[in-house]
Amino acid sequence: MGACLLEGLLKFLGCPKCGCGVELSDSYLKCRCCGRSFPIREGFPDFRVGECFKGVNTLQRILYNMYAPFYDVLESRLIKLYGVTEDSLREEVVSSMDIGGGDAVLEVSVGTCGNVPYFRRFTEGPIVGLDISEKMLSRCVENLGMWSVEDVYLVLGCGEYLPFKEGVFDRVLIGGAFTYFSDPRRALREAARVTRAGGFVVVYDQVTFIDRATGRDKLPVRVKPEGLELLSYRYLFGKLFYVAKFLKH
Ligand SMILES: C[S@@+](CC[C@H](N)C(=O)[O-])C[C@H]1O[C@@H](n2cnc3c(N)ncnc32)[C@H](O)[C@@H]1O
Ligand SMILES: [Zn+2]
């Protein structure tokens, strides 16, 4: 990430451990309060604190790092097997976010940035993508170049410890993998924290037969923190996906 892009990102950034602002030092970012430093790896500021790698998150990182080169092609084919196009899924999810004007948008678990061009249709404002997998983010950079989508900030981090200040985003999407985060409750609380009052948090995920049988598809509703109000919960494409939309009070 270039120095200019990093400058633009700074106003959103907060230490994932203490919440204070961070500043740019030569080749790393540093928390103004606790002094913790965050390296820049392969062009991405790296906010993956030790706690990010608890439980299943370590495995998620390893698996998605391996899957990254194949993700776009395979996922698009897999979804077609169910008679759904990737385009229709992303349109449904992103339109449910009600993005407008100059909204600042964050996608947690942004992957290879498949939703980002859809955000851009609705906002000229800043778009930030966060993921635990560096290889997925590298694919993201290639995709954004190919699609000519500009001014997107990408950071390494985890949904459970977001490296952003309170209330800096108008819209936050947790896009896939939420059910398999090591601490979904904490991740939804974090998404609520970084969303401004009156803004929306949207969670979408795939629904498997096991998710339906065990009620795991209702996880976002069960772990909803105070301060988030459930506005809608709906299934898409015959219960292949769910989209839960919350209002931040
Ligand atoms: C199924 S992909 C979804 C990518 C993208 N949102 C999309 O719609 O194409 C799931 C992504 O979640 C990321 N991920 C998994 N656990 C995470 C966590 N705890 N914090 C942040 N990202 C995580 C993975 O690295 C992967 O890129
Ligand atoms: Zn700090």
Structural domains counted in the chain = 1
Judge whether 171 lies within some domain: yes
Q: Which helix (H) or strand (E) holds 1?
A: none
pLDDT at 224: 97
Q: Where are the beta strands (DSSP E) in the chain?
A: 22-25, 28-31, 37-41, 44-45, 105-108, 127-131, 152-156, 169-175, 195-206, 228-236, 241-248
Asked whether the predicted pLDDT for residue 5 surpasses 80, the reply is no
Judge whether 60 lies within some domain: yes
Mean pLDDT along residues 28-55: 95
- pLDDT 10s digits, 107-160: 999 999 999 999 999 999 999 999 999 999 999 999 999 999 998 999 999 999
Ligand 1-lining residues (CB < 6 angstroms): 57, 60, 64, 108-111, 114-115, 131-133, 136, 158-160, 175-177, 181
Ligand nearest to the CA of 35: 2
> Of all protein residues, whose CA lies closest to atom 26 belonging to ligand 1?
111
Judge whether 101 lies within some domain: yes
Point out the ligand 1 atom lying closest to the alpha carbon of residue 52.
19
pLDDT at 2: 62
Mean pLDDT along residues 85-95: 97
State the Cα–Cα distance between residues 22 and 189, nearest whole angstrom: 21
Q: What is the mean pLDDT of the chain?
A: 95
pLDDT at 25: 85
Asked whether the predicted pLDDT for residue 19 surpasses 70, the reply is yes
Asked whether the predicted pLDDT for residue 1 surpasses 90, the reply is no
pLDDT at 8: 86
Judge whether 237 lies within some domain: yes
> Rounded to the nearest 10 degrees, how much is the dihedral formed by the CA atoms of 216, 169, 194, 63?
50
Place of tokens 């439980």: 55
Judge whether 17 lies within some domain: no
Q: Are strands 28-31 and 22-25 parallel, antiparallel or unpaired?
A: antiparallel
Write the CATH number for 142: 3.40.50.150
For residue 93, give its domain range: 42-248
Judge whether 185 lies within some domain: yes
Judge whether 103 lies within some domain: yes
State the Cα–Cα distance between residues 59 and 75, nearest whole angstrom: 19
Judge whether 94 lies within some domain: yes
Q: Are 244 and 221 in contact (CB under 8 A)?
A: yes
- pLDDT 10s digits, 189-228: 999 999 999 999 999 999 999 999 999 999 999 999 999 9
Place of tokens 């430093």: 37
Nearest-5° Cα angle at 235, 230 to 239: 145
Mean pLDDT along residues 20-30: 91
